[in-house]
Amino acid sequence: MLVGVHERRVRQWVAWYRAEGLASVLAHKAAGQGKPSLLTAAQRAALIEHLATGAVHTAQDAVDWVAAEWGVTYRLGGMYTLLGRLQCRPKVPRPQNPKTSGETQAAWKKGGLPTP
């Protein structure tokens, strides 16, 4: 496995090349088209807009919202795949204690305060 693929795959490439040349090898795709999306293009655009509002914090929240909004059922893994395809990251920063002070944290990071 010197090239990172199985010997049978290399033999298939060589057969295609000998039969029809380089164009034939490049025309073949290893993966198919895949399963079509459960959401329409308009629904995907609406999902992106909803994610941009910050109302969705996790992929499970997105699964629940899509089910409530359009009645489309996604599994959690499928939603992660969809969010990756849409280049969306539903996670938000970790919540902070309301008593925290930005100045105190900055001073501690610079070494101005003793360690607790």
- pTM (global) more than 0.85: no
Select the more confidently predicted residue: 31 or 96: 96
Q: Which residue has 């895949």 as its token pair?
A: 34
CA dihedral of 7, 11, 12, 18, whole degrees rounded to 10:
160
Tell me the C-alpha distance between 59 and 87, whole Å: 13
Structure tokens given for 69: 């909004």
The per-residue pLDDT for 2 is: 67
Q: Over 90: is that where the pLDDT of 115 sits?
A: no
Among the listed residues 83, 87, 89, the one whose alpha carbon sits nearest the alpha carbon of residue 66: 83
90 contacts 58 by C-beta, under 8 angstroms = yes
Type of residue at 108: W
Name the residue ranges covered by the structural domains of the chain.
Answer: 1-29, 37-92
